[in-house]
Amino acid sequence: MGPEFLAVLQILSLALLAAGVLFYVAGSVGLLRFPDAPSRLHALTKADNVGLGLVSLAAAIYWGEPAIAAKIALVWLFAIISSGMTAQLLARAAPVADGSGSPAEYERESGT
């Protein structure tokens, strides 16, 4: 690999990192600004997962080793799975903005 190729990889890694940070910022702004739990979770889980994916990709390219890339991919995969699960649980437990209780409560009360 020539030095030019390595430089291109570094620039690519930096660009991915910057894009990832942008998604994280967007997710955090959504978490702070959105009115209720479901839309906050929407911002967090969707934007932050893309952010994590981009940062993981940037790290994998930066290190440039298949073994490290595989480990980073696993980290990314487990983070996606657990954020999906926690989003489900939080959304069911959290009250919605109009004060009508959580979806879980609604289902219990209406018997659906």
Residues that bind other proteins (CB under 8 A): 78, 81-82, 85, 88-89, 92-93, 102, 104-105, 107-108
The residue (of 8 and 107) whose beta carbon lies closer to other proteins is 107
Residue appearing with tokens 């889980």? 45
Angle CA(93)–CA(82)–CA(31) in degrees, nearest 5? 60
Instruction: Give min distance, CB of 93 to other proteins, in A.
Output: 6
Cα first-last separation, the chain: 62
The residue (of 65 and 107) whose beta carbon lies closer to other proteins is 107
Q: How far is the C-alpha of 6 from the C-alpha of 9, rounded, in Å?
A: 5
The residue (of 3 and 111) whose beta carbon lies closer to other proteins is 111
Instruction: Give min distance, CB of 85 to other proteins, in A.
Output: 4
Residue appearing with tokens 């934007």? 47
Instruction: Give min distance, CB of 41 to other proteins, in A.
Output: 14
Alpha-carbon distances, residue 102 vs 18, 53, 98, 106, 107 (angstroms): 37, 31, 10, 6, 9
Instruction: Give min distance, CB of 88 to other proteins, in A.
Output: 5
The residue (of 70 and 85) whose beta carbon lies closer to other proteins is 85
